[in-house]
C-alpha cells in the first residue's frame, strides 16, 4: 500500500488536495472510533475503469451509519458521483476506495450530541492484500486467541471504525507469530471470520460458508463468490462452521474487497487439502477476476463504469 501517488481527496462535498484533508484532534471519531467506512475496488477493464458493486457497498455504508444513528448528509447518488470524480481526478485505472463517515468536532462526551458527520473518500493503488503469492499459492493462517465479538456486544453486521480494534489485535498477533492472517472464533468457539475476510470451506465438492448469526460481516465479495460458485454448478451451503470443518477441508479460501479470493493452505502449520490452491478455489478465483475486469459478460451488472469528470 502506498499513498505516494494520491493527489486528491473528496471531503465534505469537494475535491481537495491530499495535504489539506485534515481532521481536528478533538474529533469525536478519533477519540471513540465513532465512524463507519467501506472498502471498494475499482478495476481496469477494456472500456476504462469500473467500480465493483459500488451500489451495494454504498448501501451498506448508509446501513452501517444508520445502526449508529449517523446521518450521512449526502445521497447515494451524490456519493456515487463523488467516487467516480475522485478516481478521475487521480487518473487511476484501478484502485482501492475508502469512503468514511465519522463524527467530527463539537463535544467529547461519549454521547456525541450535536457533533457533525464528516464524510471523506480516499482512493489509492493497492495490490493484493495478502500478496500476489498468496493469491496463487495460498496463505498460512492461525486461530487467534482473540474472539470475535457477539452481536449482543456490538452490531457485527455494521462496518464501524472502532470495531476493527478486534481485528487489529488478531492480525497483529498472527503476524508476530509468523503467519499471514488470523481466523477468529466466535464466543461459542465456532469459526467466525478473518481479521477482514469471510471464510469458505470445501469438502467433497460442496462449498460451505457461515452467516450473520455467526458474528460475521456480510461481505459483498462473499456474496459474489456464492453467486459465482452456483453459476459454475457447485452446491453452496450456509451454516455454522466448526474449527474441524476447516482443518479437515479439501480446500478453503478467504473473500473480501482487499483479499479478493485468497486460498488458505495451512492453519497453525496444519496443511489444508493438498497444501496449495485447490481446483474449485482456482475456478472461482479465475471467474471472479474475469468478472471484475469485464471479461465475463455474465457479471457485467456488478461493474459501475467511471464517468470522466473535468478535474481541477
- E-strand ranges in 47-124 read 48-52, 95-103, 117-124
* Angle at CA of residue 243, ends 238 and 248, nearest 5°: 90
For residue 77, the SS3 value is: helix
Give CA–CA dist 236/252, Å, rounded: 13
Whether residue 191 is found in the same domain as residue 236: yes
Res 130: pLDDT: 81
Give CA–CA dist 264/251, Å, rounded: 7
Whether residue 201 is found in the same domain as residue 288: yes
CATH number, residue 94: 3.30.470.10
Whether residue 218 is found in the same domain as residue 288: yes
Whether residue 26 is found in the same domain as residue 175: no
Whether residue 19 is found in the same domain as residue 111: yes
Res 126: pLDDT: 87
Whether residue 49 is found in the same domain as residue 163: no
The parent domain of residue 209 ranges over 132-292
Q: CB neighbours of 156 closer than 8 A, spacing ≥ 6?
A: 148, 149, 150, 212, 215, 216, 217
Res 209: pLDDT: 98
**2 domain-assigned:** no
- Count structural domains, the chain: 2
pLDDT for 109-157, tens place per residue?
A: 999 999 999 999 999 998 888 888 899 999 999 999 999 999 999 999 9
Could you state, in chain order, the average pLDDT of each consecutive group of 10 residues for the chain (312 residues)? 86 96 97 98 96 98 97 97 97 96 97 96 89 91 98 96 98 98 97 98 98 96 98 98 98 97 97 96 98 97 86 48
Active site residue 159: yes
Each as own residue / partner, the long-range contacts of residues 232-235 (CB below 8 Å, 24 or more positions apart, any chain) are: 232/283, 232/284, 232/287, 234/205, 234/206, 234/207, 234/280, 234/284, 235/205, 235/206, 235/207
Res 310: pLDDT: 52
Pick from 60, 95, 124: which residue ends a domain? 124
CATH number, residue 206: 3.20.10.10
Whether residue 224 is found in the same domain as residue 253: yes
Query: DSSP letter at 149?
Result: P
Whether residue 139 is found in the same domain as residue 120: no
**306 domain-assigned:** no
**52 domain-assigned:** yes
Res 312: pLDDT: 46
Res 296: pLDDT: 97
**69 domain-assigned:** yes
pLDDT for 78-94, tens place per residue?
A: 999 999 999 999 999 99
Whether residue 118 is found in the same domain as residue 171: no
Pick from 101, 124, 147: which residue ends a domain? 124
Residue in 11, 93, 148, 159 annotated catalytic: 159
Amino acid at each position: 500500500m502506498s499513498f505516494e501517488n494520491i493527489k486528491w481527496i473528496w471531503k465534505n462535498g469537494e475535491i481537495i488536495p491530499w495535504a489539506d484533508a485534515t481532521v481536528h484532534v478533538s474529533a469525536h471519531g478519533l477519540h471513540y472510533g465513532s465512524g463507519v467506512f467501506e472498502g471498494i475496488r475499482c478495476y481496469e477493464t477494456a472500456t476504462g475503469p469500473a467500480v465493483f458493486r459500488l451500489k451495494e457497498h454504498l448501501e451498506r455504508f448508509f446501513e452501517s451509519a444508520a445502526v449508529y444513528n449517523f446521518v450521512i448528509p449526502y445521497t447515494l447518488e451524490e456519493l456515487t458521483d463523488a467516487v467516480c470524480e475522485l478516481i478521475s481526478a487521480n487518473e487511476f485505472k484501478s484502485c482501492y476506495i475508502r469512503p468514511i463517515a465519522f463524527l467530527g468536532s463539537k463535544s467529547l462526551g461519549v454521547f456525541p450530541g450535536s457533533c457533525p458527520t464528516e464524510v471523506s473518500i480516499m482512493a489509492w493503488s493497492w495490490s493484493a492484500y495478502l500478496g500476489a503469492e498468496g493469491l496463487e499459492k495460498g496463505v498460512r493462517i492461525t486461530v487467534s486467541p482473540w474472539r470475535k465479538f457477539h452481536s449482543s456486544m456490538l452490531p457485527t453486521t455494521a462496518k464501524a471504525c472502532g470495531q476493527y480494534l478486534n481485528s487489529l489485535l488478531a492480525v497483529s498477533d498472527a503476524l508476530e507469530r509468523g503467519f499471514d492472517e488470523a481466523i477468529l472464533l466466535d464466543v461459542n468457539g465456532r469459526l467466525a471470520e478473518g481479521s477482514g475476510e469471510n471464510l469458505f470451506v470445501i469438502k467433497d465438492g460442496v462449498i460451505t460458508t457461515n452467516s450473520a448469526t455467526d458474528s460475521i460481516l456480510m461481505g459483498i465479495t462473499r456474496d459474489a463468490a456464492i453467486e459465482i460458485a452456483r453459476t459454475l454448478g457447485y452446491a453452496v451451503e450456509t451454516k455454522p462452521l466448526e474449527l474441524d470443518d476447516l482443518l479437515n477441508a479439501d480446500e478453503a479460501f478467504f473473500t473480501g474487497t482487499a483479499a479478493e479470493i485468497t486460498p488458505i493452505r495451512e492453519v497453525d502449520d496444519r496443511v489444508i487439502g493438498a497444501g496449495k490452491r485447490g481446483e474449485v478455489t482456482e475456478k472461482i478465483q479465475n471467474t471472479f477476476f474475469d468478472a471484475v475486469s469485464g471479461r465475463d459478460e455474465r457479471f457485467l451488472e456488478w461493474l459501475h463504469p467511471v464517468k470522466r469528470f473535468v478535474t481541477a
